[in-house]
Structure 1
Amino acid sequence: MSRRARAYLLAALLGLVLAAWTFPPDVLLPHAGMAWAPVGDAAQHIIAQRYFLQDSWRWPPLFAMNLNTPEGLNIAFADGIPLLALPLKLVAAWLPQGFHGIGIWYAISCVLQPVAAVWALRGAGEKRLLPAIGVALAALSTPAWLGRYGHAALGGHFLLLLSLGLYPRLVRGPRLWPAAVALSVAMLLAHPYLMMMGMALLAAVPLTLLLRPNRGRERGWIMAAAGLGACMAAVLLVMVLFGYFGAVGDGGYGRYAMNLLSPVWPYRSGLLPGLVTTEVDATGFGGWEGFNWLGAGLLLGLVLALWHGGAWDLVRRHAGLALAMLGLTVLAVSQRVGLGSQIILDLGQAPAVLEQFRASGRFFWPVAYVLLIGVALLLARWRPWLVLALGLLQFADAVPMRAALHDWAARRPAWGLEAAPLRALFATHERLSLFPSWPCIAPRDEESFSLAQQALALASETAIPVNTMQVARWRTPPVCRDTELAATPIGPGELRLFLPAARALAPPGCAVVGQALACGLTRRSADAVPPDTAAGSSSR
C-alpha cells in the first residue's frame, strides 16, 4: 500500500471510529414511529428533508409544496441539506417510511473531515505519514466544528478543507478548476455560508498569483480569475434555477459576531478546564455563533512555528490567501468590535448586503483551518513528530466537546405531545392546519416553539400537507393570521390541531389529545373526529 493510501485510510478510519462511537444506529437510520422527539435545529432539518423526500419532483427542484402550504417551501431555507436530499430523493421509493438523511450527514462529515484535512496538507506539499495523522486528529478536534452538532448543515466543514486543498493545487496550475466549480455548487447545496467561505479560499488563488513576482503574474492569474468566474457563474446559475433568489431573513449583522478574544478563549477546553465557564460575549447575544476557540494544540503549535521561523516567508508566498483570511476575520468580527465584555468600536449600521449574514462569527472557520495547515507545514519542516504531538494535544483538549456531542446524540427527549394518537389522526386526514402557526409564536414562547416543532416532526413522518413551517428565510414576510383562519369552516379531510397557546381559537366539540385539541372531518366520512380516536382523550 502506498504512503498516500495509508494516510487517507488512517484518516478515514479515525473519522469512522468517531462516527461509530458518537451516533447510535437509530440516529443514522431513522424511521417513522420512533419513541423520541427530535429537537432544535436538527428537528428543523429533519422536517424539511422528510417532506421533500415524500413530495413529487417539482420545479424549482428544491421545493416541497406539501410544507408551508399553499406557498410551499424551498428546503434550502430550512437547512434541509439539498446536497444530500437530492440524491436521496432519487431512491426515496426504497427508503423506510419517515426516513431522512440528517444522521447520515453527521456520519459523512465525521468520516470526511480528517480525510479532507490530509488532502489539504498534501496539497500544500507535506506528504509524510506522521504529519498526516497529526492533522487528521487536529481536524477531528476542531472546536468550532465539534460545536456545530445541533446544526447538521453547518457541520460540513470537510467542504472548507477540500477548498483549502484546492488552493495550492490551483496556484500551481489550472487543471483542477472544473473540480473547483463542482465543489462551489456542492457547498451552496450544503449551506450558503459554507459556499461563501469556500469561495473566499478559491478567490485567494488569482490574488496570490497576482501578488507574486512577474513570472507568476504572467503565467497564471488571468486564467485563475477566469476559473473563479466560472465558479461564481455556476453558483449563480444554480441559485437561479433552484429558487434561492427572492428570499430574505431577519437581518441583524453584528449581533452574532466573533469577539476578538474568541480564538484564545478556552471555553470547553479539556487541557484548561474551568479557566472560563462560558463563551466570551460583548454583543449581548450569547457569543455562541462567534465561538472560535482554536484549541490548545493549535495554539501551542502556532507559538512554536512562530518561534522557529519561516512563517513570514509562508505568508509572503501566499499573500492572496493571507489577505482573503484577513477579510474573513474582519467579516467575522463585524462592525461592532467586541473585546471581552466590551464593544470597543461601533461603526454603526452595516451595509444592507451584509444583513444576509447575521451569524458573522462563522466566517472565522476557514481561518482556523488555514492556521492549522500552515502550522503543520512549518512544524513538519522542523520535526515531523511535532505535528503528531499537535494533533494529540488538540485531541485531548477536545475531550469535553466530543463528550457533549456523544451525549447529545444519545439523548432521547420524550414527546411533549401524545405521539401515538396524533400519528393515527395524521394518517386519516388529507391536510393539517397547525395553530399557532409559526409566525404567531411569540419570540420567547419556548413551549409553543417546542410543541409546534414536535407536531411538525410527527406530521413529517407521513408528510401530510401542513400550513406552516419554521423557516430561516422566506419569499413573503410571514404574517400572523391565525384568528382569521381559525374562524373559517373546516374543509373536508382537514385536521386542525390547536396547541396550548392557541386553544382559545378552537371551535366547540374538538377532541382533547394530550395538551392539544384536534378537530376536523376525516377523509373517510363527514363526521366530526370522535373523542375515542385518541386513546385516553376526551371531549372538550
Structure 2
Amino acid sequence: MAIPFLLGVLACVLVTGGTMLWPGNVYWLTHGDLAQSYLGWAFYRDAPWALPPGANPGYGLGLHASIYYSDSIPLLAMLFKPLAAWLPQPFQYFGLWVLACFVLQAGFAWRLLGLVTPQLWSRALGVLFFVLAPPMLMRLGGHMALVGHWLLLAAIYLCLRRSRRHQSACWALLAAAAMVTHAYLFAMVGAVWLADIVHRHRLTRAEAPIGLRAGIRRWLPEVSLVVVATVMAAWLAGFFMVSGHGMQASGFGYYKMNLLALVNGDGWSGFGLKLPQGAGEYEGFNYLGLGGIVLVGMALLAAVMHRDLLRERMLPRPLLLVASGLTVLAITCNVGIGAIQWRMPMPDGLWLKLSHLSLQSTGRMFWVPYYLLLLAGLFTVLRVFHGRWQIGILLLAATLQLMDLYPGLSGLRSTLLQRSRDTNAAGLRGPFWDAAGTHYRVLRQLPPALMAPGWEQLASYAQRHRMGTDAVMLARFDWNRFLSLHNDQQAALLGGQPDQNTLYLLNDREVALARVAVPATTAALFRLDGRNVLAPGWQGAIPSSAVDLRRAEASSSLFRLPFRGDFVQDGVGRLLLGPGWNSAGAGEVSTLGVKASLFVPAVDAAGLAVHVGLGLHRASSRKDMAQRLEVWADGRLIGDCELAGGSCGELQLDVPDDRRGASFRELSLRSGQPSARLSVALDTITVTLHPPVASAALASERR
C-alpha cells in the first residue's frame, strides 16, 4: 500500500500547495462554508460536554445547534474534543482531513483496480483518475466534509470484493463513519449497501433456494447492526437535535445535474469543453475530464468489438439499478440539456413532497454512478488490452487528463494558497470590542438572522472571547425554535428589558425601536465600525469614534402617535410582534399557538389610554381552531370577537395605561376556548391617543 499512499500525498500537496495542512493555519477558513465548518469546531472544542455529545450550544445560541449541522465533520470533531486542553490555539483538523481523503481515495481506488489486474503501473495510472476527480476537487473550495469521496469508493469496494469476511461489521463501520461525516455521503453509502444486500441475497439463492422467512432471518442481523450503528452515531453527533420539520430544505429541481455534465468542464477544461447550464446545476458538476472521456469511449468501443464482455457483467445488476436510481435523482424532474430546461409534468402533491426532501442538492447523488462509470471504463481497458498496449492507452488517457484539467487544478491551487496566506481577515477589534468581550457573555443580532452578511466576523469575535452567539451559519435548523428566538428577543427589546449579559447588534429599524423602548439610563446605543450597538448596563463612555445614536437625528417619530402600520414583509408592524407569531417568514403574520403577544406604541402617552384598531382575519377555517378571540392587557380583558362570524375584521380596543410609563404596551391575543389553537392573521394596526376624559374614566374604572 506504499504506492497509493505516496500517490495520495503527492496529489494532495500538488493540488493544495500544502499550506492548508498545517493545523495552526486557519486563515483559509474565514469565509462562507469554510468559516461555518471551522467556527463550528472552534465553539465546540470550548463547549462543556453535554448530551448528546455533539451538542454545540454556544454556536447558534437558542437554536439547539450541534456539531453535525455546522458541517464540521463530527467524526473528527468528537475525536479531537477530548484533546482540546492539549491542542494549540488556534487548531484546525480540516487540512489533515483533506490529506487523509486523498490518501484513502488513492488506497480504495488501488484496491478496486486490483480486483482486475495485479500490474502496478496500470493500477498507478488508474488511481490518477480518482485522486484528481473534478467532482471531489471542486469541494475543496468550500465543503470540506464532501471531499470524503473515499467513503463512496469504500462502499463500492465492499460491494465488489471477492472476500465477504466480516462484511456486516465493515458495512456497519462504514455507514456509521459516513453518517458522522456528511448526510449526503451517508445516503449514497446506504444506497450501495442496499445493493450489496440484494446482490448477496441473489448469490445465496443461486446456490441454495431459500424462502422469504429464511431470507429475513439471514439478513436481519446485518440490517439491525447497520441501523443501530448508524442511529447511535447520528445521536452522538447531535443529528436528532433538529426536528423533522427543521430538516426540510429548499432547492429540489434547482441544485441538480445537467445531462451534459460529464462533458462540461465549466472552467476546468484546457481544451475548451465548456457548455451552458442552469443556474443551480453547478451542484451537479461531474466532469470526467478529456482523459476520462477518451477512456470511457475506448471502453465502449472495446465492449462492442468483444461481445463477450457485454455478457460478462463486471458490476452486479443491483448496483447498476441503484446507480440508475441515483442518476434519475440527480437529474430530477427538471431536466436540463445544456441551456435547455424542461420540467416533467407531475401531480402537485408529489412535487410538494419532493420539494420538502431533506436532500435537496441532488446533483451530488451522481457521484456513485460517476465512479462506477470510471471503473467500468478502466475494468474494460484492463481486461481487453495487455502489456504495452494497456500501459500505452492508460498513459495516453492520463496525459490527456492532466493537460485538460490543468486550468482547473492551477486555479484551485492558487485560490487555496492565497486563502492560506491571507492574514488580514476583517473582524471586530479595538478597545471597546475587547472590553465588551470580557463584560458580556452573549452576542446577539436583532433581528436574528442566519447567514447574515458579515456573520463570520461576528462569530469569530464571539468565539475569540468565549461568548455564545446566534450570528452563525447552519446547514439545517429548527424553524420553530428560530421563530421562538426571534419573538423572544423582540419582546425583550419592546419591553425595554434587554438582557444585561448580552451585547446586541441592531439593524437600523431596530435602532429606532431601541431608542424609544430602552431608557438611556439602562443601555448605551451607538454606531461603531459600521455596527449599531446596544450595550445594556455599559458603565464606561462610548468610544470617541462612535456615533451616539440617542443624540443623532432620531427616527423615533416612526412610533409616535398617531401611528399606523401594516404587517407585510418589512412592514413596520412586524417590529411590534412578541412571542407566538410566525413573524420571520415572508408570508402573512399569523398566530402559532393558543396565544400571542402584540406591543402597541404609547410614546408620550404616560398616564393616558390609547385607542388601537386592529385589522385582522381568520387564518384557517378548520373546525378544531378557536372560534373566539380575546384580547387582554395588564391582566384585564379589553375586547373579544367571534372569528367564525367574521366580526373580527376591524377590532377596536381601548388600552389603559400600564402604570410603568413604558413606551410600548403589551396586548395578549388569546383563544377564547381552552386548549383550542388560535388562528388569526394580522393586516394593519392603528394607534391614537384616547381623549383625556375617556382616559380618566378608564383609569377610574381600573382603580
Asked if TM exceeds 0.5, the reply is yes
What is the letter of the counterpart of residue 452 of structure 1? W
For 1:107 and 1:500, locate their aligned partners in 2 and report how far apart those are by CA, in whole Å: 45
Q: 1:20 to 1:402 in 2, by over 3 A?
A: closer
**Local SS of the residue matching 1:147:** helix
For 1:121 and 1:131, locate their aligned partners in 2 and report how far apart those are by CA, in whole Å: 9
Give a deviation string over 1:407-430, Cα, whole Å, max 9, x none: 332233854544455455324422
Q: Which residue of 2 aligns with 1:400?
A: 407
What is the letter of the counterpart of residue 516 of structure 1? R
Q: 1:7 to 1:236 in 2, by over 3 A?
A: same
Conservation of the 8 A alpha-carbon contact between 1:10 and 1:133? no
What is the letter of the counterpart of residue 382 of structure 2? A
- 1:239 aligns with one of 234, 238, 244: 234
The structure with the greater share of residues assigned to strand is: 2
**Local SS of the residue matching 1:90:** helix
Q: Which residue of 1 aligns with 2:172?
A: 181
What are the within-5 Å matches in structure 2 for residues 120-519 of structure 1?
120-122=112-114, 124-149=115-140, 150-169=142-161, 172-211=163-202, 215=206, 223=218, 226-240=221-235, 242-245=237-240, 246=243, 247-273=246-272, 275-276=273-274, 280-281=277-278, 285-309=279-303, 312-315=310-313, 318-348=316-346, 349-350=350-351, 352=353, 355-381=357-383, 382-383=385-386, 384-385=390-391, 386-409=393-416, 410-411=418-419, 412=422, 414-420=424-430, 422-423=433-434, 425-438=436-449, 449-477=452-480, 478-479=482-483, 480-481=486-487, 483-487=490-494, 488-498=496-506, 503-504=511-512, 507=515, 509-519=524-534
1:73 Cα deviation from its structure 2 partner: 0.7
For 2:148 and 2:382, locate their aligned partners in 1 and report how far apart those are by CA, in whole Å: 27
The structure with the greater share of residues assigned to helix is: 1
For 2:525 and 2:104, locate their aligned partners in 1 and report how far apart those are by CA, in whole Å: 51
Conservation of the 8 A alpha-carbon contact between 2:447 and 2:507? yes
For 2:219 and 2:14, locate their aligned partners in 1 and report how far apart those are by CA, in whole Å: 37
1:264 Cα deviation from its structure 2 partner: 2.0
Larger radius of gyration: 2
For 1:105 and 1:172, locate their aligned partners in 2 and report how far apart those are by CA, in whole Å: 29
**Local SS of the residue matching 1:520:** strand
Q: Which residue of 2 aligns with 1:445?
A: none
Please tell me the root mean square deviation across aligned C-alpha atoms, in Å: 3.1
1:394 Cα deviation from its structure 2 partner: 2.4
For 1:234 and 1:11, locate their aligned partners in 2 and report how far apart those are by CA, in whole Å: 32
For 1:505 and 1:22, locate their aligned partners in 2 and report how far apart those are by CA, in whole Å: 50
For 1:502 and 1:496, locate their aligned partners in 2 and report how far apart those are by CA, in whole Å: 10
Q: 1:108 to 1:515 in 2, by over 3 A?
A: farther
**Local SS of the residue matching 1:73:** coil
Q: 1:463 to 1:159 in 2, by over 3 A?
A: farther
What is the letter of the counterpart of residue 258 of structure 1? M
For 2:108 and 2:24, locate their aligned partners in 1 and report how far apart those are by CA, in whole Å: 25
What is the letter of the counterpart of residue 504 of structure 2? R
**Local SS of the residue matching 1:518:** strand
Give a deviation string over 1:354-385, Cα, whole Å, max 9, x none: 61111011000111111222222221221441
Q: 1:307 to 1:404 in 2, by over 3 A?
A: same
Conservation of the 8 A alpha-carbon contact between 1:206 and 1:225? no
What is the letter of the counterpart of residue 252 of structure 2? Y
**Local SS of the residue matching 2:274:** coil
TM-score (norm 1): 0.85
Conservation of the 8 A alpha-carbon contact between 1:146 and 1:401? no
What is the letter of the counterpart of residue 256 of structure 1? Y
**Local SS of the residue matching 1:276:** coil
1:333 Cα deviation from its structure 2 partner: 1.0
Q: 1:468 to 1:514 in 2, by over 3 A?
A: closer
What is the letter of the counterpart of residue 501 of structure 2? G
For 1:288 and 1:330, locate their aligned partners in 2 and report how far apart those are by CA, in whole Å: 17
For 1:168 and 1:90, locate their aligned partners in 2 and report how far apart those are by CA, in whole Å: 37
Count of equivalent residues: 511
**Local SS of the residue matching 1:8:** helix
Does residue 56 (structure 1) correspond to residue 59 (structure 2)? The answer is no
Task: Note the residue ranges of structure 2 that are not aligned, 5 or more in a row.
Answer: 550-703
* Percent sequence identity over aligned pairs: 24
Q: Which residue of 1 aligns with 2:37?
A: 45
What is the letter of the counterpart of residue 470 of structure 1? M
**Local SS of the residue matching 2:283:** coil
Conservation of the 8 A alpha-carbon contact between 2:526 and 2:542? yes
1:436 Cα deviation from its structure 2 partner: 4.0
What is the letter of the counterpart of residue 176 of structure 1? Q
What is the letter of the counterpart of residue 402 of structure 2? F
Conservation of the 8 A alpha-carbon contact between 1:48 and 1:75? yes
TM-score (norm 2): 0.66
Conservation of the 8 A alpha-carbon contact between 2:122 and 2:394? yes
**Range moving further from structure 2, 66-75 or 495-504:** 495-504
**Range moving further from structure 2, 429-438 or 300-309:** 429-438
For 1:230 and 1:322, locate their aligned partners in 2 and report how far apart those are by CA, in whole Å: 25
Give a deviation string over 1:176-228, Cα, whole Å, max 9, x none: 32122111101010001000111122222132334559545759987567535
Give a deviation string over 1:61-80, Cα, whole Å, max 9, x none: 11112222234312212212
1:15 Cα deviation from its structure 2 partner: 3.5
Conservation of the 8 A alpha-carbon contact between 2:111 and 2:157? yes
Q: Which residue of 2 aligns with 1:76?
A: 68
Does residue 88 (structure 1) correspond to residue 80 (structure 2)? The answer is yes
